[in-house]
Structure 1
């Protein structure tokens, strides 16, 4: 789809996707001191890869909205969109694995969204590119609604890290999305920002989130949000340090499994919860500390991961 890019000081317009500004609350605030405009759709190059029970082992790329008609998309099935985060792609494996696990338990259209062109850049830029990716997803959902009479109530969007805020952006533009799941929503440049900037409970009929890396960015390099963003927020093991993830060292920053070990656990936990929904034990509590004070004896005697729901 050809879009005309119109750049003005402090704002940029991308055709049907609308206009974007770097003014508050997206820039020039304590949480976002540097205002950046999102890159163009052409530079971000968002791609959609479809996995269904007809093609469980390989992607079908939706190269344009109209190519949906020649794919295995079925309008009588529910649809899942899975979105990666910073410096990632849909071909890294975890999105495909999540689709395959979903297809074991339900017959759905599972789309893996790849926005590598906008994620492999400086984090400050990627954090602003999510607005365009979310607008594109909203446009795609609008196409399905118009051409297939497809209701947003059939849609569940799942986003990891920055992908959680992509989901929020799409939900802000499409009323009636059934569910959004944020998998350790990215914290830097989103923590303590207004709802229009980040994932928020108003973005879907039901919003849930798993928080696994809520330590401060400095000095512990926590990459997720400590702030609740959904109707139901889960904090496994307190939401800071996951079993098997040690304290990051400077040398370890070279490797994803160490730099982002806690951060990545969110999508691993979510995938496992699809496969074995009874494997996780959750308790409602105002804080993890309050939960431990009352339930520490139960945690010591249990081998199951513990999720505290706030």
Structure 2
């Protein structure tokens, strides 16, 4: 079988160089950079628009749950004129990837229409995306269809392409890039875990790239350089802002592969592997939907690596600020970015609500004797919410400052109150401890709040500190 590989590659390369042309969407070649050895040796010519049958399904505030039954079409642009499409509104176009049922797109529209009066369009190209290799080839035609749709909006309705936002998941992210490369002045592209297989280290004409729109933001949740690294996404930075939640490879809450692997049960491993990868791959659009409804969530920090981020080396936000991952990433002004800084890291929870807020808490411990126990801080803030955090555990030594970087699922806002409490681990007579000073540093703005007290307390008794 292996002996056939050079022959097949030779035949493929010999056949390359062909071209097909279709009315309305143009011509497509079967040569570099679309095909070639190693990265895209199986890619080829796309199908016809008629065979792919790309559909544009419109959702608006007048029909937020179901798409407008009379479908809109750029070929017959009077259908757009007769629809609920608003030429004075922003247009979000959701582009699926390989073999999808459209659920994530409907969820995006549903969330968007809760907070915005907008045009939300879900593209359906399921006929051309059932097989991965065919989908790679066909996305060029679908990209041209999307570009043609925007072109009709411009020419027939005077609609500016700067008001168009393409949101693509997996292969759909590269589809968005293809469409964007055909539309000068396109406003924004959001890539949700862009596909890796057949797109690693390819020229920018083939994949999503910052030049494809005025603003390109990308969320990586299942990134890998090769499939054997267990990932459907790409590690490559593809946008002006690239977000790597939880490091961007495997998401918390998705199933672990180790048990079926150690059992040497190939069928179980294969099923678990697919489930695991699909779970992490899908987290990107789950994060995006949550971000629509929570504008201040998912604060992301510029950092050289996830390892450095986890070590606390990139806390807090720099003076130019931090972007938020997801729908409101465009609030971050690109002119504020440092040169070549496009990697942004953050952590999330394992289930919704996913967003986390970072604080650094430092406690200067007061007391007379070393004790065994755990220190807790109860923190309240301007949002009216509060959280309790364990700061240190084990041998507690008065005169020592204990510092911990915490991530909470509660956004307390600016800290306005601090309570100190400690629990004794020893059965012996307990001493008294207290917090002489507590300093909270918020992750987003670097605000410092300082609280002081001269009290010491026995275990399980709250000590209330005052601003100082």
- The answer to whether the aligner puts 1:302 opposite 2:407 as a matched pair is yes
| Structure 1 residue 262: Cα displacement | 0.5
- Give the conservation status (yes or no) of the 8 Å contact 1:181–1:207: yes
Say which of 117, 122, 147 aligns to 1:138. Answer: 147
Which 5+ residue runs of structure 1 have no aligned equivalent?
1-7, 306-310
Are the structure 2 counterparts of residues 9 and 230 from structure 1 closer, same or farther at C-alpha, using a change threshold of 3 Å? closer
Residues 171-221 of structure 1 show CA distances to partners (whole Å, capped at 9, x for unaligned) of: 100000110000000111111100000000000000000000013443243
Q: How does 1:79-158 map to 2 (within 5 A)?
A: 79-90=91-102, 93-121=103-131, 123-158=132-167
- State the secondary structure of the residue aligned to 2:24: helix
Are the structure 2 counterparts of residues 267 and 68 from structure 1 closer, same or farther at C-alpha, using a change threshold of 3 Å? same
| Structure 1 residue 26: Cα displacement | 0.8
1:22 is matched with 30
- Give the conservation status (yes or no) of the 8 Å contact 2:49–2:141: yes
- State the secondary structure of the residue aligned to 2:408: coil
- The answer to whether the aligner puts 1:235 opposite 2:244 as a matched pair is yes
Say which of 13, 22, 28 aligns to 2:21. Answer: 13
- The answer to whether the aligner puts 1:251 opposite 2:268 as a matched pair is yes
Are the structure 2 counterparts of residues 282 and 269 from structure 1 closer, same or farther at C-alpha, using a change threshold of 3 Å? same
| Structure 1 residue 127: Cα displacement | 1.0
1:290 is matched with 308
Q: Distance in 2 between matches of 1:99 and 1:27?
A: 35
Residues 73-103 of structure 1 show CA distances to partners (whole Å, capped at 9, x for unaligned) of: 010111100011111133xx22111111111
Say which of 89, 104, 112 aligns to 1:77. Answer: 89
Residues 52-73 of structure 1 show CA distances to partners (whole Å, capped at 9, x for unaligned) of: 0011121012254331112100
Q: Considering only CA atoms, is the larger Rg found in Structure 1 or Structure 2?
A: 2
2:351 is matched with none
Q: Distance in 1 between matches of 2:170 and 2:98?
A: 7
Moved more, 239-248 or 291-300: 291-300
- Give the conservation status (yes or no) of the 8 Å contact 1:82–1:113: yes
Q: Distance in 1 between matches of 2:309 and 2:238?
A: 20
2:451 is matched with none
- State the secondary structure of the residue aligned to 1:58: coil
- State the secondary structure of the residue aligned to 1:294: coil
TM-score relative to the length of structure 1: 0.89
Moved more, 278-287 or 160-169: 278-287
- Give the conservation status (yes or no) of the 8 Å contact 2:187–2:215: yes
TM-score relative to the length of structure 2: 0.60
Which structure carries more relative contact order (alpha carbon 8 Å, separation 6+)?
A: 1
Say which of 248, 260, 264 aligns to 2:282. Answer: 264
1:49 is matched with 57
> Which protein is richer in strand relative to its size?
2
- Give the conservation status (yes or no) of the 8 Å contact 2:166–2:176: yes
Q: Distance in 2 between matches of 1:87 and 1:201?
A: 26
Q: Distance in 2 between matches of 1:300 and 1:264?
A: 28
- Give the conservation status (yes or no) of the 8 Å contact 2:58–2:67: yes
Q: Distance in 1 between matches of 2:170 and 2:225?
A: 15
- State the secondary structure of the residue aligned to 2:407: coil
Moved more, 151-160 or 22-31: 22-31
| Structure 1 residue 28: Cα displacement | 1.5
Q: Distance in 1 between matches of 2:277 and 2:232?
A: 9
- Give the conservation status (yes or no) of the 8 Å contact 1:252–1:258: no
| Structure 1 residue 273: Cα displacement | 0.6
When the two structures are aligned, how many residues end up with a matched partner? 295
| Structure 1 residue 253: Cα displacement | 4.7
Q: Distance in 1 between matches of 2:296 and 2:142?
A: 34
> Which protein is richer in helix relative to its size?
1
